[in-house]
Structure formats: structure tokens, C-alpha cells
A = this chain, B = another copy of it.
Amino acid sequence: VKSAESHRITLWDTTTKLTLPVKYATLSIYELLRGLPCGSLVEITGYWDNYGFYIEKVEVLHRPVLEDLACIDELPRDPVEFTRRYYLYVRNSSYAKVVKTYSLVLQFIRSLLVKNEYLELPTVIIGHTSDPGLRGASKAVIELYGGLYEVQSSVIMYKQLYASVFGRIFYTARNLRIEPPENVKTGRHLVEFTQVDIESAEDREEDLIRLAEIIIYKTIKYILSKHSNLLDNSRISTLDRQVTKPPYPRLTYEEAIQEARRIGYNVKFGEELSFEAEKALAQKYETPIWILHFPTRARGFYYIEDHKRSGFNVDYNLLLPGGYGEVLDGGCREYRYEKLLDKIKQHGEDSSKYSWFLELTRAGLIRPTCGWAVSVIKVGWGCLGFIWAVVGFINP
């Protein structure tokens, strides 16, 4: 209950504010409602006629103790305080819009994949080692029935296995990476995040690039055309301008580092582009852009080396415009036992961690596959926190 004046009661209904024009109500009802603290929960029973709402009964279901918390519509400035007690602030109206955008984006992307005959598999929570861990993040390990398992940080090898069986598959992956605190502050790499993670044994690099472009393009156009009420006006016009029809420009890794050097970022050949360099590159372009064919030693061992160009992978990352940076990364995968074993060793990894997957490749059960993962949302624990990825791009 926000306020109660004669003939008008304003109710605070969590996300909407409802004003009831009241026809008949005794003075005692107004007195009762006016006396309640902000955030009280009341059940009002009655009926509408042509003149207004006729109240028959008012029941106070709950009277809050900390009334100052109940009607907050501002977020705390301190991100640590916010993360620790985010659950107090989830009624904030801009957050509500982001959560709705998330839900719509996820359902829309899934429906496009299902139309393209991709089969959705159950999100993996714990499993065998599937990824060496990227950019300094560590993993959560738990013991189970005498064995050690990881809380999933990447489903890469699961994707290879299931695409080998079903042809085209995807996960609504929820991954957990314990990022160093300095990464968390960037808002870019977070503890829990949702990726739509696809893999196909029936498509090659070019098919996967085209599918990614069309999905990103259609998803953003869908939100713009059907749910623009979730966006600020300034964001609507920017998205409309930036997200042009695919195909999007493609730079090779070598072209990208030359470009990055030209605008002042000193990227060493053979290393991944830094966040800042990626952001600056994405700032320069007014559309999404691809960076293709990274050096083999700069990226995970599971990418396949281009047989026409030794030292470079068959892989592809998509950057979003306006300084937003990488939102999708993909590539084709090594599936041959001997080559995979060599690459694991060259990357300084312990091959025994991947014995389950090596057993599969050794038996010839892994087909050549390609895939990608698009980050839909990155959040702090619980559900909400900082938000980034596709949803953050659409609705920052």
C-alpha cells in the first residue's frame, strides 16, 4: 500500500503501481490503509461496477517490520554491498526488465535452434574434466562416491560426444568459474553464467558462422520489434543502427592484431587479444565483427589446426559493436586420438584428467564437429547480480 486518500487507493503491486478508484469505502478502511507501513500486504475483496470499485473486505496479510527496505527502488552504489545482498534489490524496475529480456532471448534462441534441428540436452552440473580453464579462472571440485568431479565450467567435450551421436545438439549451459576478483570487477567474467552452447557433426565452419550471425541478428530484431517496451529509447535507436543484416565483416587474427596495434594496443603475436584491445576493436566498427583463425598455442587444445595453415586454428569469435566485445566464440574440434594427446601435452596439461575423453577418441567414437557458445547472461549467484553477454548488450 503506497497511499490511501478519499476515493483513491494506490497499491504498490511489486512491479506495477495500481490505483483503484473507489466508489464506496468507509472511513475506517481509509484509516486502516493509511496506517499501514509501506510494503504491507493486504487482500482487498470486492467488485467493479460502472462507477468504480466497491470494497467489501480488507484483510491485512502481513505488516513488514523493516518498512524502509520494502519500497526501495534504487540500487546501492557499492558493488560489493550489492552482490552480498542483491536479493533485497530485485524489485528494482530496471532489473525486472533485464530479467524479462533474458527469459525472452533464451526462449527465442532455443526456438531457432530447434527449428534448425538441434536437440537440447540436460544442462550438466558436475562431470568429468572438460576444459583446462581459461584466463586464470579456477574450478569448484566436489567429491562424490569416492571420485572427484568438477562443477561444470565448460561442456566442450560433452558437446563433441553428443554431437557425434545425435548430429546437432545444444545445451542451455550454466557454467561456474571461480574468477579472480579483478576479473569480477570488470563485469565481464562472472561466477555463474548462461551460454547457449551448440555443436554439430553435420556442419562446417562456414555453416556455423552463418547460423550464429542469423541468430544474433534475429534475436535482437525480435526484442526490438516485439518487446521494445523493455528498452530505453536511446538503446532502441543504437541497436537499430548497429545490428545490420548479416553477413558481418571478418578479420583474421593477424589482421585484428595489426588493427589493434594501429589504435595503440600492443598485442604480442601468438597471444589472445586483451579485453581492452577487443573492446577498442569492437568500438571502431559499427556492426558486429568476426575474428577468425587464432594461433593454435593461444587457445584451448580442443580446437583443430587448419590443415592448410599450420599453427592456426579453424575458429571464430564474434565481437559486438560499440565497445561491447566478445559475445560468442566457436571453432572446429580435434577428434583424432594421437593429435589430441599431442596437443594436450603441448599445452602443458595433464592428459590423465581427460582419460575419459581420450578413451572415446581412441575408440573412434568422436566425429569431426564444429560449434559455438553464445553468452546469454552472466550473473552473480542466486539469480541476479551484474549482467552482461547478449542480454547485457540488448538491455544494459
A151 within 8 A of B: yes
Contact in complex: B121, A383 (CB < 8 Å)? yes
10 nearest A-B residue pairs (beta carbon): A64-B364, A69-B363, A66-B363, A140-B142, A39-B364, A103-B120, A127-B382, A123-B174, A65-B362, A70-B364
A362 lies within 8 A of B192 (CB): no
A14-B165, A90-B161 as given contacts; A379 in contact with B122, CB under 8 Å: yes
Interchain CA distance A379-B158 in the complex, whole Å = 15
Interface residues of A in 173-218 (CB under 8 A from B): 174-176, 178, 181, 191-192, 194, 201
B contact residues around A63 at 8 Å (CB): 364
Cβ A151 vs Cβ B125 within 8 A = yes
Residue of B nearest to A92 (CB): B165
A-side residues, CB < 8 A to B, are 14-15, 37, 39-41, 61-67, 69-70, 85, 87-88, 90-91, 96, 99-100, 102-103, 106-107, 110, 114, 119-128, 140, 142, 144-145, 149, 151, 158, 161-162, 164-167, 172, 174-176, 178, 181, 191-192, 194, 201, 335-337, 356, 359-360, 362-365, 367-368, 377, 379, 381-383
Give chain B residues whose Cβ lies under 8 Å from the Cβ of A64: 362-365
Verify B181–A14 contact, CB threshold 8 A. Answer: no
Given A39-B365, A382-B124, are A96 and B166 neighbors across the interface (CB < 8 Å)?
yes
Residues of B near A201 (CB, < 8 A) are 14
Q: Which residue of B lies closest to A178 (CB)?
A: B144
Instruction: Please give, as numbers and ranges, the residues of chain B lying within 8 Å of A102 by CB-CB distance.
Output: 121-122
Q: Which of A40, A122, A363 has the most CB of B within 10 A?
A: A122
**A158 to B166 Cα, complex, angstroms:** 34
Whether the Cβ atoms of A70 and B107 lie closer than 8 Å is: no
